[in-house]
Structure formats: structure tokens, C-alpha cells
Amino acid sequence: MKIRLGLDIGGTTVHGIAVTAAEPHDLVVETTHLTRKGADGVVGGALEMVAALRASLPADAEIISIGLGVPGVVHGGAVTHAVNLGLDGEPLDLAAAVSLGAGGVTTTVENDVKAATLGGLQWLRDQGFDVHDLALLNVGTGIAAGLLLDGRLRHGSRGMAGEIGHLVHDPTGPLCPCGRRGCLELYASGSGLRRQWAGTAAALFDAAESGDAEAIRIRDELTSGIAQAISILVYSVDVACVLVTGGVVSATPALRDAILARLRADENTSLGRLAGIADRVRWLPAGHPAGALGAALLGAGDEGARSWKW
Ligand SMILES: [Zn+2]
């Protein structure tokens, strides 16, 4: 049995899965470890996860690839910037180090949201909805997108394709850690919500519904910010589907309804009707392991420029 391993290395946990190499990529083993930080910690933690997955596999299993998703900028096979993993200095050749430590298995590293886009594509296919142009919009601590265009992940010249969180949403808004004012992710993200509201998004919607003026303002900014992000993705690259994921969105049906209502309101113009943005939106179910699954599928594509085999 040929197996691909996928590791989604987050700021808090490493989620590892083993799937069959052949479609439909059945889940064989899945486990979670706490993240270790710094270059040695990230490499060592990844190898511990590979060892744990390998130990749980059937005796006839053969690992043919390892994929790693990391929350940072990945360029030319190296992780160049991943603050939440304690990597912000020298570029780390993570794929090479893990391949070496794992006995020469072909290893690929990718930005986590870009990797999750491949996992999201697999989920869409499982639903009978195949597309060649897809954006996965992750509304997490920040907000960022992965782009699959003409069937291939789009990286761009510096690995920054889809990093839309620091587009300015309101130039008179509060100061962002990036140095500008009113960036999109100050409104349309989990951290943006926490910055302004102590409870859950569901409680925010309840308070707004009962007439709390502050809750209404925050709710409307959150809704319009995410709707804006979806619109930016459609109007810039005309993806057939925007698959939205992230805790705030998946836990709050009222937010999803409000985003769709906002997008439908834009369809009262001929351009808006032509774009039909609301119909392109899908919601990834809570708990779907798109990040780890997508990382596992990195090895199945033609992403050779960023793969390393020792
Ligand atoms: Zn910013």
C-alpha cells in the first residue's frame, strides 16, 4: 500500500495524516502533536510526527512522499518567514532537512493556506464539484487565500499570491502591526473580532440582533470585510469557487448568512449579476483536515521545483 504523509504545522499543534496515494486518498492514520518552535524544534517535531505516523501504519505500507504546510512565506523550497513557528531569521530548508531525517523520502514544503487549497479541492471533488480555478479563503487569526489557477497552485514571484490580509479596507481605521492603517484583517479575521469583542461571533450576532449599536457596527465590519475579501478574489482572478474556512466562519451560521446577503446585495447591478459572486461561495465543514490532507497531496502534483529528495 503506497502512502503519502501530510503535516499541517500550526503555531500550536502539528496535525499529521497518512492517506493512500491513489484516489480517493483514503485516510489511514491521523494524529496531533504540540508544535515545537525554532529551526531545530520545527524539524525535530516534523520528524517525530513522521515517526509516529509510520509506527501506526500497516506493515505493508510504503511512504512515497511527505508534505509539510507551514504558516509563513515559502519560497524556493525554503521557509523564509514564519513568526508563529519562531522562524524569522535565516531561510530554513525544511523540506531538505525532513527528507534527510526521514530516510530520503521525497518531501515538499508549502505555505499552509496554499496546501489547504489542495485539501479543499479534494473536498469539493468528493462533493461532485470539480473546478480548475479555486480560491480557498482562510479566516483565521489573519485572513489569507490560496489560489489554484488552471489546476495549479499559484505562488507568484515572491510566494505572496493570495496574501490579501493587508490590503487597506479603511484608510482611517486603526493602526495595524504591519504599519498601515485599516488593513482588511483588522476587521475580517478572528483576531480582528477579538480586538473589538470579548465573546464569540455567535454572541456578537445575538447582541446585534437585539439592537446593541456597538455590536451592530462590529458585526457589519466583520461581514463586509469577509465579503470584500471574497469579491477581491473573484474580481481579480475569476475563480469558479471561493471555499471559505476558519473557526469564526464555520462556527457561526448567522455570519455565513450575513456574508451571502451582503454579496447578494451587490447583484442589483448588471456587473454584479454577471459576476454572481454569492453563488461561487462554499463553506468548508468545521473539522475538515484540509491543511494536512492538502500537504499530503503536495507530493501528488507537479510541484517538483519545491520538492527535495536525498
Ligand atoms: Zn496590515
Domain regions of the chain by residue span: 2-115+289-308, 129-283
- Residue 171 Cα to ligand 1 midpoint, Å, equals 11
Q: Any alpha helices (H) in the chain, and if so which ranges?
A: 38-56, 94-101, 112-126, 190-196, 201-209, 213-237, 247-250, 253-265, 270-275, 290-297
- Residue 194 Cα to ligand 1 midpoint, Å, equals 16
Rounded average pLDDT over 166-171: 93
Superfamily of domain 129-283: ATPase, nucleotide binding domain (3.30.420.40)
- CA quadruple 243, 245, 249, 253: dihedral positive or negative? positive
- Residue 182 Cα to ligand 1 midpoint, Å, equals 7
- Residue 177 Cα to ligand 1 midpoint, Å, equals 6
- Residue 224 Cα to ligand 1 midpoint, Å, equals 17
Task: Domain 2-115+289-308: state its class.
Answer: alpha beta
Rounded average pLDDT over 92-115: 95
Kindly report whether the global pTM for this prediction surpasses the value 0.75: yes
In which order are the strands placed within the sheet that holds 152-153? 152-153, 143-149, 134-139, 241-245, 281-283
Length of the chain: 310
- Residue 87 Cα to ligand 1 midpoint, Å, equals 20
pLDDT above 70 as % of the chain: 97
What pLDDT score was predicted for residue 155?
A: 87
What pLDDT score was predicted for residue 204?
A: 97
Instruction: Retrieve residue 7's grid coordinates.
Output: 503535516
Rounded average pLDDT over 136-153: 94
pLDDT band of residue 301 (cuts 50, 70, 90) is low
Write down the mean pLDDT value for the chain: 92
CA dihedral 291, 292, 296, 297 (to 10 degrees): -30
What pLDDT score was predicted for residue 173?
A: 93
What pLDDT score was predicted for residue 234?
A: 97
What pLDDT score was predicted for residue 42?
A: 96
- Residue 142 Cα to ligand 1 midpoint, Å, equals 10
What pLDDT score was predicted for residue 35?
A: 96
- Residue 175 Cα to ligand 1 midpoint, Å, equals 8
Distances (CA, A) of 306 to 47, 117, 151, 257: 19, 17, 17, 39
Same fold, 2-115+289-308 and 129-283: yes
* Cβ count within 10 A of residue 254: 16
Whether the predicted pLDDT of 10 surpasses 90: yes
- Residue 113 Cα to ligand 1 midpoint, Å, equals 18
What does the pLDDT look like over 77-90, one tens digit per residue? 789 888 889 888 78
- Residue 178 Cα to ligand 1 midpoint, Å, equals 4
- Residue 217 Cα to ligand 1 midpoint, Å, equals 20
- Residue 164 Cα to ligand 1 midpoint, Å, equals 10
- Residue 52 Cα to ligand 1 midpoint, Å, equals 38
- Residue 228 Cα to ligand 1 midpoint, Å, equals 16
Rounded average pLDDT over 15-44: 94
Whether the predicted pLDDT of 304 surpasses 50: no
- Residue 137 Cα to ligand 1 midpoint, Å, equals 17
- Residue 166 Cα to ligand 1 midpoint, Å, equals 4
Instruction: Tell which wins on pLDDT, 273 or 309.
Output: 273
Rounded average pLDDT over 159-173: 92
Distances (CA, A) of 152 to 70, 121, 172: 19, 11, 37
- Residue 122 Cα to ligand 1 midpoint, Å, equals 31
pLDDT above 90 as % of the chain: 82
167-195 core/surface letters (b: 16 or more CB in 10 A; e: else): eebeeebeebeeeeebbbbbbbbbebbee
pLDDT band of residue 309 (cuts 50, 70, 90) is very low
Rounded average pLDDT over 55-81: 91
> What does the longest C-alpha to C-alpha distance in the chain come to?
62
